[in-house]
Structure formats: structure tokens, C-alpha cells
Structure 1
Amino acid sequence: MQTVRFSAIGNPTDVLQIVETSLPEPGPGEVRIKVLASPINPSDLLFVQNLYGILPELPSGAGFEGVGIVDKVGEGVAMRTGIRVSFTATGAWSDYTLANQRSLIPVPDSLSDEVAAQLFVNPFSAYAMLEESGLQPGQWVLLTAAGSSFSKIVIQLCKLKGIQTIGTVRHNELDDELKAMGVTAIVNTEKEKLTSRVKALTEGKGVACVLEAVGGNTASDALKCLAKGGTMLLYGVLSLQNPSFNVGLMIFRELTVKGFWLSDWMRRVDSQTRQNVARNVLTLLVGGKIQLPVEATYPLSDIKKAIEHSEQPGRHGKILVKSNQ
């Protein structure tokens, strides 16, 4: 079988390699999965560069989520083979991979492989962050990097919940798509002053929450857009630049800034909350109320081309890799 591995930290297109290896054998509590499709998420690429919250143990597989068929089960696993599941594992970019049985979500037949491959990272993060934010109908939320797959899901969820959304972009290629998904307003930060535009949109009140993924000056400006008592949830730093925050602003507006990492959130909440999120996300996807568009699919052997495509601005959907087998 073929799998994507890296033996050194660095730029993914430089260090990732396709390796021929034997089938892995599941240990206790594990299953072997025949991978059907897996997305390329920013977290996957950060992991290869050692810029993520998990330290790579070299040599390491790559890719954190996907959809596949349970091919073999290890000791203590009460699950039959042949079931199609969404899974999380380090090494999803592979023909076969091992996953802990606790990470598996059986996928209904009505969900395509393309949707099921993206089931966990972005939909769960979007749903969980909105729950964490405490946003109520009629309130405003500011989304930096509005064209990302994550932000598109948040926009759709907010429309269903009656929450007003402002999205930042640097280019306007995706404006029509974002408007169709339900974004309330779009701010091009290359052409408009973010703070002034948000102030005008919110009648001078500011937004109740910012979901921030860019870092640098974008995050610094976004903080200024918060209303008194507002919250900023940091979940990424695409610019690889740290923001600078005005302490006086934080004190006198009583602002909260905190990080959000889905892995920790899933460990922190109780099992009932996790099950509720899974059930609600599946219901929304099966019902077609949330769309997870795909722009292109590449064979595993073209992983470097797939990554290059995933890093292009103005994409209309996720980039997927599919097994060669």
C-alpha cells in the first residue's frame, strides 16, 4: 500500500513523500480503515511544519481526518468490518490507516464520501465554537478569513440561528458564494478600514464575538471591533504573525480573548455533549442545511499538487485526496 510520510520538519511540498509499506495491523481498541477520501486542512500542513499543538514523531504520517471502510478490528473492538465511517487519525493520507475506535462515526448512506471526509474538523469546530461563544439571535459575529471552509460553515449555521455575520476577505472572488450562504456583510480589508466598517454596520455597538484565524494586524484590528464585554476566540494564525493587543481597550471594554482547539474541547466536555454535537452536525448535513463544497480531488500520488492547490486563494471548496486503491 501507499502512504504519505515525512522524516523531517519543513514545507509540506518539500518534505512529504509517497512511501510503499505493508498493511498496518490494528492493536487493542484500534481498527484498520481502507481510506476512501481525506481533506487537506490547514492543521494538516501546520503539523508537518511543527507549528501545531501535536509534536510529530518522525517519521510520521500526515492528514488528520477522512472517510473509509472498516477493514479489520483489533482486540476489544465491538464493531463489524465493512462499515463506512468518518475517522480521525494521524496518517489519514494513506491507502489504509489505523484509528482508535472512539474516533469513529458511522456514516449514513445518504452522505457522499466527499462530505463524510470533511465531517469532523471543520463542522465540529464551527458548531462547538458557536456554542462556546454564547451568541444569541440578532447579535453580530466577525469572521476573519471568511472564505475558508470553516467560516463558510459558521456563516450557514449563523443564518439558521438568526445571528448576523461580518466576514473579512482580501479578494472579492468569493463574494457571491458567501452572500448565497447567508453572510450579512463582507469587508475587503485590502480596500476598507475594518474598524470603521464594523462600527457602521453595527450602529456603533461593535460585535459580540470575533472568530479569529489570521493573526497579525487582522487580529489586532478585529479586537477593536468588539463591543463591551465581547469575546474573541482564536483558532488559527494563518499569517504566522502574532497580533498586538491594546491592554487598555481590553480592560475598559472588559474583553475576553481565549484560544480554541477542538481536540482539547472534545476532551473537556462530557460524552453527552460530544454525542449531541455529532448528532446535530450529521442531521444538518444529511438534511442539506449545511453544504461542504469540494473544489477538486487528487489521487494520493499527487499529494504535492493537491497541497499547492489547497494553498491557492479564492478557492470555492475543499481539496480532497483519494486512495489509489
Structure 2
Amino acid sequence: MLTVTYDRFGEPADVLRTAAVDSPTPGAGEVLLRMLLSPIHHHDLWTIRGTYGVRPALPSGAGSEGVAVVGALGEGVEGLAVGDRVAASAIPGAWAELVTARASSLIPLPAELPDESAAQLVAMPFSAVSLLEHLDLAPGEVLVQNAATGAVGRLVAQFARIRGIRVISLVRRGSGVEELAAQGIGDVIATDREDWQEQARSLIGEAHVAAGLDSVGGEASAQVLSLLGDGGRLVVFGAMGGSTMALPSGPIIFRNLRVEGFWGSRVSQEMSPEVRRRLLGEILSGLLSGDVSLPVAGIFPLEEVAAAVSATLTAGRGGKVLLRP
């Protein structure tokens, strides 16, 4: 079978290779999955670079999520059958033709959910609804976020709308406003305009901005912080634009602003099964109703993983890049 692997940390285009390896065999409590589609997430690329919160032992398979069909059952597996279509997440080596996974971690899928959406079902949507759950904002409250054209940013805006929370989204370029408008997402401000703060404050009006989400870092962190109301919270869950945050101390001190981190993997591990089921139900409901969409920017074969990574890193792409075995 074919798999995407790497034996040293570095830029994905430099270290990834597609190789033929022996097919895996499911152990007790596991299933063998025949992968259909798998997304390229930024945390996958950070892992390959060796800069994520977890560094795998090398050599390692790449990828972490996808939609698959059950190909074989390991000993003791119940509730699944060969041929079932499932969503799989947090599985090392997902960019492959075949992988094994714990049966208990798989999510059976409704027939009406397309493969392109099912492939992205967990990591980004779950991060978005987990962030909203963590913020615990009431209907009518206001949230500001940056990186709004990213997968999590788009999903935060959509799930927040369902929850009755208003989101002001910041993007780095004017074309991002149009991209989000095409997906039905409004209240978007491009920070490449000199008057972006005036535009943002005009949208906010007399409302109190209770929280901000930052997944960029650098100077962009201060942009979100500047729009928070007194006592507001800046929640940091990424650093796409820089590993150092440039934050002014004055507003944090005198306006009682709080800065806190959010790591989706840890939050997911500590979450109760009841909350997990409720949030997964919220995700499926949003997708099946059409209130939430998961656009795809392109689909590449495993053999073209370098081109797929390049497409992922291209500014202005309209959705996730997927790999098809």
C-alpha cells in the first residue's frame, strides 16, 4: 500500500515522500480503514516541521484525519461492520491507503453527508465549537476574531451565528471580505485598510466585545486586543503569523483584559463524553441543515503530496486541500 511518510523534521515539501509499505493489520479493539479522503491541516504541517505540541517518533506517517470505509475488524470490535463509512480523527498516518484506528474513536456517518465534508468533520469543526463552548458567551454577545478566512475562523462565524452570538471577523486583505461573503459570512473587516479600526468600531457600535480569538500572533494579536471591551478575554489558539505576540501592557492592566491559551487537543482529551456527543451532534446538525459548509479548494493524489502542501500554503484558497489515496 502507499503512505506519506517522513524520517526527519523540516519543511513538508522537503521531507515528505510517498512510499510503498506493508499493509497494517488491526489489533484487538481496532479496525482497518480504507481511506477515501484526508485533509491537510496546518497542525499536520507543524507536526512535520517538529514545531507542534507533540513530536512523533521518526520515521512517522503524516496526516491525522479523514473519511474511510471499514475494511476489517480486529478482535472484540462490536457496533461496526465491514463496509461502514466512518470519520476518523487523531489517527497518525492518515495520509495513506490503509490505516488502523481504535474502533471506539470512529464516528459512523449518515449517508447524506458527502465525503468531502466527512473528511473534515472533526478537527476544525470540533475546534470551532469547542472554542465557543469554552468562551460560554450568551446569545447577543459579541466576539472578535482574526484569521477569519481560515478553516476554524469560517466555522466559528457559522456556529456562532447558530448560537446567536455576533462575530466581527478580521482579515488581512480586502479579497478576504469577498471570500467570506460568498460563504454567507458578514461583519468582516480588512485590516489592510487605514480606517479598519473605525470600520470595526462602527460595526460594534455600543455593544460590549466580551472575547477575542487570536490564531495569528505577532502584531495581529494586538489588533484583536484593541477591540475588546473592559474585562474582555483574548483567547490564543494559534500562531500562524509569528510565535511572539506583540501586546501593549497598558490596556491589559488598566482595562482588566485577560490573555489565555487554548489547545484543542488537550481540551478534547479532558472533555466529558456527554459534552463531546452534544458538540458532535451540533456539528452534524449544522452540516446537514446547510447552515454550516466545509468548502474544498482542491483534491490531490497521495503521489502529489508536495503540490498539495503548496496549495495549502497558497494565500486566498477557498477551502481545505484534500488527499485522495
User: Aligned partners of 2:64, 2:194: CA distance in 1, in Å?
Assistant: 36
Is 1:219 paired with 2:209? no
User: Aligned partners of 2:187, 2:280: CA distance in 1, in Å?
Assistant: 29
Is 1:19 paired with 2:22? no
User: Aligned partners of 1:205, 1:166: CA distance in 2, in Å?
Assistant: 11
The question of whether the paired residues in 2 share the 8 Å contact of 1:140 and 1:208 is answered with: yes
SS in 1 for 2:104: helix
Match of 2:267 in 1: 265
User: Aligned partners of 2:212, 2:185: CA distance in 1, in Å?
Assistant: 14
User: Aligned partners of 1:203, 1:287: CA distance in 2, in Å?
Assistant: 31
SS in 2 for 1:191: coil
Deviation at 1:235, TM superposition (A): 1.2
CA 182–230 in structure 1, closer or farther in 2 if over 3 Å, else same: farther
Q: Which of residues 208, 211, 218 in structure 1 aligns to 2:210? A: 208
Identity across matched positions, percent: 36
CA 248–176 in structure 1, closer or farther in 2 if over 3 Å, else same: closer
Match of 1:69 in 2: 69
Match of 1:158 in 2: 160
The question of whether the paired residues in 2 share the 8 Å contact of 1:199 and 1:205 is answered with: no
Match of 1:245 in 2: 247
| Structure 2 residue identity aligned to 1:81 | V
Deviation at 1:94, TM superposition (A): 0.4
Match of 1:83 in 2: 84
Deviation at 1:16, TM superposition (A): 0.2
Q: TM-score scaled to structure 2, two decimals?
A: 0.94
Is 1:302 paired with 2:304? yes
User: Aligned partners of 2:237, 2:195: CA distance in 1, in Å?
Assistant: 23
User: Aligned partners of 1:280, 1:170: CA distance in 2, in Å?
Assistant: 30
Aligned residues: 323
Deviation at 1:294, TM superposition (A): 0.8
SS in 2 for 1:227: coil
The question of whether the paired residues in 2 share the 8 Å contact of 1:66 and 1:118 is answered with: yes
Gaps of 5+ in 1: none
Is 1:276 paired with 2:272? no
Deviation at 1:226, TM superposition (A): 1.1
Deviation at 1:297, TM superposition (A): 0.6
User: Aligned partners of 2:178, 2:248: CA distance in 1, in Å?
Assistant: 34
Gaps of 5+ in 2: none
Q: Which of residues 225, 228, 231 in structure 2 aligns to 1:229? A: 231
CA 174–189 in structure 1, closer or farther in 2 if over 3 Å, else same: closer
Is 1:48 paired with 2:48? yes
SS in 2 for 1:173: helix
The question of whether the paired residues in 2 share the 8 Å contact of 1:4 and 1:62 is answered with: yes
1:266-325 deviations in whole A, cap 9, x for unaligned?
1212111111111221121122221111121111111110110111111111111101xx
Match of 2:172 in 1: 170
Root mean square deviation of aligned Cα: 1.7
Q: Which of residues 87, 91, 94 in structure 2 aligns to 1:92? A: 94
User: Aligned partners of 1:61, 1:127: CA distance in 2, in Å?
Assistant: 28
User: Aligned partners of 2:128, 2:282: CA distance in 1, in Å?
Assistant: 12
SS in 1 for 2:213: strand
Displaced runs of 4 or more, over 6 A? none
Q: TM-score scaled to structure 1, two decimals?
A: 0.94
User: Aligned partners of 1:32, 1:195: CA distance in 2, in Å?
Assistant: 52
